[in-house]
């Protein structure tokens, strides 16, 4: 499916997050040149692409940590670039984000980590906070680990605690940054199921950034494939699987040869080998 077709594939009014024609560069090096992505309400949207295509940068644009050079990033119908800090913080309170490494606060225990956003944003009485936190920890299977410090958790456990923290304020949107990286098969399966359950049970709009094609395709409703700062393909998992685009095929099958370069640009190999050492 082509880029223009992908833009037509969704109704903008249905999009909770709408990225339109975004250009973004770091030190003159373009990361995005005309990016179009939309996450529809209640669906799991996957953003895939090789390493270094700016997937994490996209999440930073959505959460308003950085601003687009050109184009519009709108979240909940508002242009993130025009929001004041109070509005931006209000918008962030409606989102939850799962970081690649969990990003748990290391000086407080698991319980306090999950309770952190609640304590910061509400005046709920302690018994209610306790029940809320234990409910969320139970949902990720870690109620028994409430007293542990983040340093005592495995990578998979830390990510599950971070997931409990991300959903504790009942967000409308959940953003996952590479949720499967470095997980053992069991933890990976658990996280995958949890993402699906959160989406099904709580009707949360989810954006999952990942390069684990097969895992993400098993739960995504709609996927975008990024390469060199643009969407090169978009569609449902079935549509992407049927795609005959060389880029899509290379990415789906993990081939080193194809439109997506494996090698960093370099001088001719033989010439460099024959050169005298520096």
Partner 1 sequence: MSAASKAGVIEAVRKTGEAGLFFVRLLGACIPALARPKLIIAQIYNAGARSLIIIMLSGLFTGMVLGLQGYELLNRFGATEALGTAAALALLKELGPVLTALLFAGRAGTALTSEIGLMRATDQLTAMEVMAVDPLRYVAAPRFLGGLIAMPLLTAIFNVIGLFGAQLIGVQMLGVDHGTFWSQTQSAVALKDVTEGIVKSVVFGAVVSLIAVNEGYHADPTAEGVGLATTRTVVASSVMTLLLDYVLTAAFM
Cα–Cα distances (Å) from 127 to 123, 131, 221, in that order, read 12, 6, 38
Based on the shown chain and the rule CB under 8 A, indicate whether residue 90 belongs to the binding site for partner 1: yes
Based on the shown chain and the rule CB under 8 A, indicate whether residue 116 belongs to the binding site for partner 1: yes
Shorter beta-carbon distance to partner 1: residue 88 or 220: 88
Contact call for residues 224 and 43 (beta carbons, < 8 A): no
**Shortest approach of partner 1 to residue 89 CB, angstroms?**
4
Q: Which of the ranges 71-79, 98-106, 221-229, 237-245 carries the binding residues for partner 1, by CB under 8 A?
A: 98-106
Measured distance CA(221)–CA(206) in Å, rounded: 10
Based on the shown chain and the rule CB under 8 A, indicate whether residue 124 belongs to the binding site for partner 1: no
Shorter beta-carbon distance to partner 1: residue 17 or 213: 17
Shorter beta-carbon distance to partner 1: residue 21 or 116: 116
Based on the shown chain and the rule CB under 8 A, indicate whether residue 97 belongs to the binding site for partner 1: yes
Pairing of strands 230-235, 15-26: unpaired
Q: Which of the ranges 11-19, 117-125, 241-249, 251-259 carries the binding residues for partner 1, by CB under 8 A?
A: 117-125
Based on the shown chain and the rule CB under 8 A, indicate whether residue 33 belongs to the binding site for partner 1: no
Strand spans (E) along 65-171: 70-75, 78-79, 95-98
**Shortest approach of partner 1 to residue 229 CB, angstroms?**
22
Based on the shown chain and the rule CB under 8 A, indicate whether residue 63 belongs to the binding site for partner 1: yes
Based on the shown chain and the rule CB under 8 A, indicate whether residue 83 belongs to the binding site for partner 1: no
Measured distance CA(131)–CA(212) in Å, rounded: 35
Measured distance CA(38)–CA(166) in Å, rounded: 21
Among 106, 253, 271, 276, binds partner 1 (CB under 8 A): 106
Measured distance CA(139)–CA(150) in Å, rounded: 18
Write down the residue that tokens 């944003």 correspond to: 121
Based on the shown chain and the rule CB under 8 A, indicate whether residue 58 belongs to the binding site for partner 1: no
Write down the residue that tokens 């690649």 correspond to: 100
Among 11, 27, 120, 257, binds partner 1 (CB under 8 A): 120
Among 2, 66, 83, 100, binds partner 1 (CB under 8 A): 100
Q: How many residues belong to the site for partner 1 (CB under 8 A)?
A: 20
Restricting to residues 137-176, which ones interact with partner 1 according to CB under 8 A?
165
**Shortest approach of partner 1 to residue 61 CB, angstroms?**
12
What are the tokens at 125?
A: 């009485």
Q: Which of the ranges 11-19, 44-52, 92-100, 138-146 carries the binding residues for partner 1, by CB under 8 A?
A: 92-100
Query: CA nearest 162: which of 121, 207, 202, 104?
Result: 104
- Going 269 to 273 to 275 to 278, the CA torsion angle's sign is positive
Measured distance CA(77)–CA(140) in Å, rounded: 31
Based on the shown chain and the rule CB under 8 A, indicate whether residue 180 belongs to the binding site for partner 1: no
Contact call for residues 82 and 67 (beta carbons, < 8 A): no
Interacting residues toward partner 1 by CB under 8 A: 63, 65, 89-90, 92-93, 95, 97, 99-101, 103-106, 116-117, 120-121, 165
């Amino acid at each position: 499916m082509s880029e223009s077709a992908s833009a037509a594939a969704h109704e903008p009014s249905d999009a909770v997050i709408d990225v339109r024609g975004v250009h973004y560069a770091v030190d003159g090096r373009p990361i995005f040149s005309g990016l179009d992505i939309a996450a529809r309400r209640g669906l799991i949207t996957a953003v895939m692409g090789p390493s270094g295509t700016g997937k994490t940068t996209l999440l930073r644009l959505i959460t308003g940590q950085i601003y687009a050079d050109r184009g519009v990033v709108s979240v909940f119908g508002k242009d993130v670039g025009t929001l004041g800090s109070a509005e931006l913080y209000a918008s962030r309170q409606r989102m939850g984000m799962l970081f690649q490494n969990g990003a748990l606060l290391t000086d407080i225990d698991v319980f306090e980590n999950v309770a952190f956003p609640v304590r910061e944003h509400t005046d709920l009485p302690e018994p209610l906070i306790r029940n809320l936190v234990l409910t969320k920890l139970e949902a990720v299977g870690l109620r028994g680990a409430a007293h542990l410090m983040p340093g005592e958790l495995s990578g998979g456990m830390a990510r599950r605690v971070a997931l409990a923290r991300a959903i504790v304020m009942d967000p409308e949107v959940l953003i996952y940054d590479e949720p499967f990286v470095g997980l053992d098969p069991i933890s990976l399966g658990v996280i995958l199921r949890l993402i699906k359950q959160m989406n099904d049970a709580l009707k949360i709009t989810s954006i999952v950034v990942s390069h684990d094609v097969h895992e993400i395709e098993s739960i995504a409703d709609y996927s975008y494939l990024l390469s060199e700062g643009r969407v090169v393909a978009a569609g449902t998992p079935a549509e992407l699987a049927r795609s005959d685009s060389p880029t899509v095929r290379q990415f789906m099958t993990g081939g080193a040869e194809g439109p997506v370069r494996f090698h960093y640009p370099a001088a001719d190999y033989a010439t460099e080998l024959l050169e005298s050492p520096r």
